[in-house]
Structure 1
């Protein structure tokens, strides 16, 4: 957060309420983290004091200066963090802050709090949501509020309240005392009246019990009269408001903390009691059950039930072991709400909104108009899919898994009715697609391998399939595959890649340089594609001829284009970076904002090389033409699976699922592949799932790693370095070739291992040798060996290309 300019908008003490205290505490913590924080107070003291007695007058007098201060602060800040509550404070304070940020083009993080949100949203949802959707991120402190807003179509991220563990800390308990503490304002919402009735019942069993009520508010006279009528005037002390130091002392003197609220969200008083080692009794309202686990780190009782409240307090005050057990568990729970744990979550949301794609300029024109028109012309639904996918990425995992089950059942039913291969297979094994209710039901089906598709290709085509595109695999793993994609599948993959691109603050239409595969003999793209790329500001740098002269040309083009993003093979871009360093060409001032890499395993040394060279983060992607856009890295480092479209299984050698974190074979089911279904398809790759959530807050599950996916460089006889795919393209689409492996033994000899269908005809053998020599050199010996099987590497990974010739240093 160092150097970040933040306008923090919210109330400040007095009165010392939960939101006011959190605003003040957050400002202090952000400043200590290196941010510049400008506080915009929504509740400044106003004189003359009589204005506070006339309904609406104080608010009307405060509004104009507040709006002016807000407008000026927004001009100086990079980001607006708005603390919001329900009621009129939303309409007069939070909503104007969102709109001011929107008008000034600044990032807006809306931090919504308050246990009365359900009633407020029920009254004002349309108006509230109209403003909420203009915020770039909505964060809430609890799962309770996240569920509430999800019901209104608002995606939120949970960033909990923070408790100061240095200030609130346990103290030795004093035996024989029974002091109860309530730290809530004296307002009807917090139901101190029921607490007094419960305390009166408790006093019948514990005459020495005392109740301390900290806070102030309009209920004070009524509560004093109630305490008097219950003959509690000597046992109840109304302590008034207390500063944070005094409150910490109050907690250390307490034997029990009571929270009697009628509505609540994530009460700070519970966190402070936990941190102070004090057991807690609370009503089970609102978000409290998401915070307190009944019987584990606190006791929960129904609201307004004085007898249940008294019984719970008596239980803890008369059983020291149980009170200590709950206090210890509560202290452990409080550790989750330290600044050290919460700061990364908040910082992730700040980075997210600051990296948002531009909403104006040429990039916005391309992403919002020209590219959607391009996709519609191709009869792709990518643009229509993007919006729902940008919303669903923030769903909780269980919600995403529900969507997976729904789509999986639809895919399997369609396959059973319209795809000959699956119709026959389902009948043979007795599989009923209508009985699928969990993604684990996929385990009833066998794993699909490339040989199954190659041997039965036509039977995988649905009888109701639309227009299909014929493709072949071009990566470095496994047997070559010829397959088909329908427009639905292509649309989903494009939308998934588009969404991941936008995670990094760039968008279609930003200047892009692509170091990607294209046949070496292809010197120019077709006219239509060239014009399209020019319109989209995308420049293709073919990854095959990587001679020093060609790399010099690429450096010149990059310096001229100054791309916002790079996309391509990590090995190729690392080679370019090394060449630039040897040439003394600086790449760190080109303005590259992100380097996207895919199609190979990304090694950490490559990441470091690219990050240093371009002064930009590296975003790793995993997928393929056959398997789809499987996963992509977010700015927080999580490798998110495109779970709305793809189910990923990690299996051991016996085909059984492995535990999260353990390596196994990656098997995918693509839920948008109805025209040519890929169900439990073995990618040939090895990887592991990551059970931990990502700090970014996305509900999409994570891959922990992908192992062994790489293509080597090959070196021609004259020293030209080219990507291994230059040779793969010669073999991969030949129907007579089932599998192959290319081993460059030396500059003078390259071996080609082939598994052919019915033996390789002499004419085809001669064609392969001729094409290899055209790339590697006319004098190079090409040895073709026909074999029955090509074994996997020791790691379990198949590789198309192995070069034993190191790429020479660029002169």
Structure 2
């Protein structure tokens, strides 16, 4: 634990709010300073592009990216040469020839992401951000402030604005950040970022007894929309309904990171009296999918070239699920070209009534994890923070055997040290409270019958089942 974390964890709530607001100020400048306003306006203008204009825009950026990668990124210089791809070919490559390019795996990104995958000609002020690493193996992505602002220009336009809100509208967030570290915790179960008018609710303390305090936070700070993990937002809304609590009507619920079901949409409509807007993106910043006012999911072509392919790297037809390969068009400092991101999607051949000539995604096929239930009734599906910072872990799985017993299966380059094992145990306890924790080291973790990796499995069923139809 860093000194900053130690100071934060031992500070009173009002000081923690100040720390979070200071943190929010720094990130606000990174995201919304510099060229953000220009990029946001440009993203809005591009929404009126025709299909031909989008293709021309992507092809111009693709050729620029490929030549830049060939000239300045050692990894790509080597792999392009191995494929027999010359600089001249790359400079004239069209969108139909993308399949000639090599695929980048997540393992290669982890291995070379901070070395040969970096450009020798980079924008100023870069910093690395890590993915959630739901399989236990996060990746690190280099952001420059300018790249961050290009990304957020599109994000603001296509995700928040399409839902009728902005980054400056008071919001409630339920994400993976541990704003309250102790498993038992004490109210309030949220902290406030005054700079961005953001109430950050703990994803780790949502249960029946604590729900009224969450509602208090929504009212106290005038939250106008909720965002963050789909499942955590669902858990909170379900407890609000079960406890017959009333909350002010919201403008929207914007979900991400997990599959959004029709039942979730219906519950959010009942509890918050508003529509839900689904979205897809990642810390890799190589693709944005967002839901428009007509309920269709659109790919933002200015964020990435997206391929949906089968096991033989052949394009799948509309209506068939395939693996997503992303060629990001925003990050030239650490180019991700035909990157297999680990998600699956389904193309649609429909045109949307909104009139935007942006490709329509029929379905984002997300991971469906089981729900782990704590002894006090809290529910959660996200456990990636348990493995954060332990680089030797290649994959991990959390299995709830009983309400007071967890098995953690870890596939690692070498067995964890006793200190690292204790760190894993303490992190599980910090999320769920005291329980028995077993750590096992299988050679591999089996996939499900449909070929998916399941990071969380629970053999415990919820005591009270609620009909949310």
TM-score (ref. length: structure 2): 0.85
Moved more, 413-422 or 449-458: 449-458
Change (3 A) 1:766 1:576: closer
Partner residue, 2:71: 417
Q: Distance in 2 between matches of 1:373 and 1:777?
A: 32
Map of 1:281-320 to 2, 5 A cutoff?
A: none
Q: 1:647 corresponds to which residue? A: 305
Distance 1:785 1:806 in 2: 23
| Residues 1:764 and 2:420 aligned together | yes
SS in 1 for 2:344: strand
Aligned to 1:461: 118
Partner in structure 1 of residue 330 of structure 2: 672
Question: What is aligned with 2:209?
Answer: 549
Match of 2:8 in 1: none
Cα deviations by residue, 1:365-387 (Å, 9 ceiling, x for unpaired): xxxxx999954797642221011
Does structure 2 retain, via aligned residues, the 8 Å contact 1:493–1:628? no
Q: Which of 200, 211, 214 is 1:540 aligned to? A: 200
Equivalent residue in structure 1 for 2:128, among 465, 470, 475: 470
1:564 is aligned to 224
1:633: how far off? 0.3
Alignment of 1:501-650 (within 5 A): 501-519=160-178, 521-522=180-181, 533-587=193-247, 590-650=248-308
Shift of the alpha carbon at 1:479? Answer: 4.3
Determine the C-alpha separation between the residues in 2 that align with 1:751 and 1:516.
Answer: 24
CA drift of 1:568 comes to 1.7
Q: Return closer, same or farther for 1:795/1:377 CA change in 2, 3 Å cut-off.
A: closer
Distance in 2, Cα, partners of 1:477 & 1:735: 12
Q: CA deviation at 1:810?
A: 9.9
- Consecutive unaligned residues of structure 2, counting only runs of 5 or more, are 1-23, 186-190
Separation (CA, whole Å) in 1 of partners of 2:215 and 2:30: 35
> Could you list the per-position Cα deviations for residues 702-748 of structure 1 after superposition, in whole angstroms to 9, with x for gaps in the alignment?
111011334443223x32424333x3202033111111111212213
User: For the Cα contact (< 8 Å) 1:476–1:798, is it kept in 2?
Assistant: no
Matched, 1:755 2:414: no
1:470 Cα offset (Å): 2.0
Q: Cα gap change, 1:702/1:375 in structure 2, threshold over 3 Å: closer, same or farther? A: farther
CA distance in 2 between partners of 1:711 and 1:584 (Å): 27
**Aligned counterpart for 1:439 among listed residues 95, 99, 114:** 95
Name 1:789's counterpart in structure 2: 444
| 8 A Cα contact 2:212 2:245, kept in partner | no
| 1:492 maps onto 2:146 in alignment | no
Which digits, 9 at most, give the CA deviation of each residue in 1:192-228, with x for residues without a partner?
A: xxxxxxxxxxxxxxxxxxxxxxxxxxxxxxxxxxxxx
- 1:29 is aligned to none
CA contact (8 A) 2:303 2:330 kept: yes
RMSD: 2.7
Within 2, Cα distance between the matches of 1:625 and 1:484? 10
Structure 2 CA distance for aligned equivalents of residues 720 and 733 of structure 1: 29
Picking from 400, 416, 430, the partner of 2:84 is 430
Contact preservation (8 Å) 2:287, 2:328: no
Per the TM alignment, residue 774 of structure 1 is displaced from its structure 2 partner at its CA by 3.7
**Residues 448, 565 of structure 1: alpha-carbon distance in 2 compared, 3 angstrom cutoff:** same
Structure 1 alignment gaps of length 5 or more = 1-369, 525-529
| 2:381 counterpart (702, 705, 724) | 724
Q: Which of the two has greater helix per residue?
A: 1
Gap change, CA 1:534 and 1:379, over 3 Å in 2: closer
Provide Cα deviations, 1:509-548, integer angstroms capped at 9, x if missing partner.
2221112221264489xxxxx88x3243221112122133
Deviation at 1:592, TM superposition (A): 0.8
Distance (whole Å) between structure 2 residues aligned to residue 464 and residue 810 of structure 1: 56
Do the aligned partners of residues 681 and 514 (structure 1) sit closer, same or farther apart at CA in structure 2, a change above 3 Å counting? same
1:737-752 aligned within 5 A: 737-752=393-408
Question: Quick check: 1:579–1:810 contact (8 Å CA) kept in 2?
Answer: no
Shift of the alpha carbon at 1:460? 1.0
> Could you give the per-residue CA deviations for residues 70-99 of structure 1, whole angstroms, max 9, x where no partner exists?
xxxxxxxxxxxxxxxxxxxxxxxxxxxxxx
Measure how far apart 1:809 and its partner are. Answer: 3.9
Alpha-carbon distance between aligned partners in 1 of 2:426 and 2:181, rounded to the nearest angstrom: 17
8 A contact 1:482–1:733 mirrored in 2: no
Shift of 1:579: 1.2
Equivalent residue for 1:661, pick from 314, 319, 323: 319
Where relative contact order (Cα < 8 A, 6+ residues apart) is larger, the structure is: 2
For residues 241 and 419 of structure 2, what CA distance do their matches in structure 1 show?
Answer: 45
Distance 1:810 1:555 in 2: 22
Which of the two has higher C-alpha Rg?
A: 1
Equivalent residue runs for 1:385-424 within 5 Å: 385-424=39-78
Contact 2:399–2:458, Cα closer than 8 Å, also in 1: yes
Other structure's SS at 1:609 match: helix
1:553 counterpart SS class: helix
In the alignment, the residues of structure 2 paired with residue 618 and residue 629 of structure 1 have an alpha-carbon distance, to the nearest angstrom, of: 20
- Paired residue secondary structure (2:281): strand
User: Could you tell which deviates more after superposition, 613-622 or 490-499?
Assistant: 490-499
Q: Work out whether residues 684 and 797 of structure 1, in 8 Å CA contact, stay in contact via their aligned partners in 2.
A: no
Contact 1:496 1:629 in 2 (8 A): no
Alignment CA distance shift 1:711-1:552 (3 Å): farther
In structure 2, distance between residues paired with 1:417 and 1:638: 39
The number of residues matched between the two structures is 431
Whole-Å separation in 2 of the counterparts to 1:462 and 1:761: 35
Q: 1:646, 1:670 within 8 Å by CA — same for their partners in 2?
A: yes
